[in-house]
Structure 1
Amino acid sequence: MQRGSNPVGPRRDDETKHELQGYLKSGRPTHTEDFRDPEPPADDDPGASAPAADPAVEVARHLDRAAFPADARTLAAALEAGHAPGALVDAVRRLPEDGRYASPAEVARALDDGAGTE
């Protein structure tokens, strides 16, 4: 039996793990009141502007399913409102204006095809 300086017992550790499970799986705040949410990272915070390895994950992190289907201009505005990294917003803005995207995967595919890069 390990005896450390932990002020709570193993039962409370398990309860805390269960309480945080939804937050950890969602990857975003789960509070209903805005004032309880942590402040989003600033643009100059280390790692705040680094895109995720998978563009579909990055797009999905900042957009709800209700945003789809949409054109590039609408998606760029929604990303900007969702405080997405500027590089991602700019890449989506460079997508063809006549394209319609039904999911984050389609946006990522378009970005990977080079339509959103210079």
Structure 2
Amino acid sequence: MRPVLYVLSFLALIALGFWAYRENYTTQAALKEVETLQRQIVGLREALALQRAEWAYLNRPDRLRELATANFDRLGLLPMEPGQFGTPNQIAYPRSAFPEIDMPIDIQGDLPLEEGL
């Protein structure tokens, strides 16, 4: 009986070693993938920061004013003035959704008294 237990223990030990070996390589592959993804994220963040800086540079008010002046014949853009905006009185608010009361209901009346009061 003992030799059978020794053989089973030895086989279990080999199986666990194989499992640990496989898990080690799986973990290393996952770590390499995470590292690659983190490098990609850093690169994308740097590209986004560069694009935001370029957008801010291109949207400078003095540059846009010069472009609007230079292309006035084609675009017809004029500077914004306060008179171009509406007032709060000009806003069309939706009507209330409450229904009209056609027939009033009498809610006053006699309540039945309980016996024994």
**Which structure's residues are more often helix, by fraction?**
2
TM-score norm. by structure 2 comes to 0.24
> TM-score normalized by structure 1?
0.24
Larger relative contact order (CA 8 Å, sep ≥ 6): 1
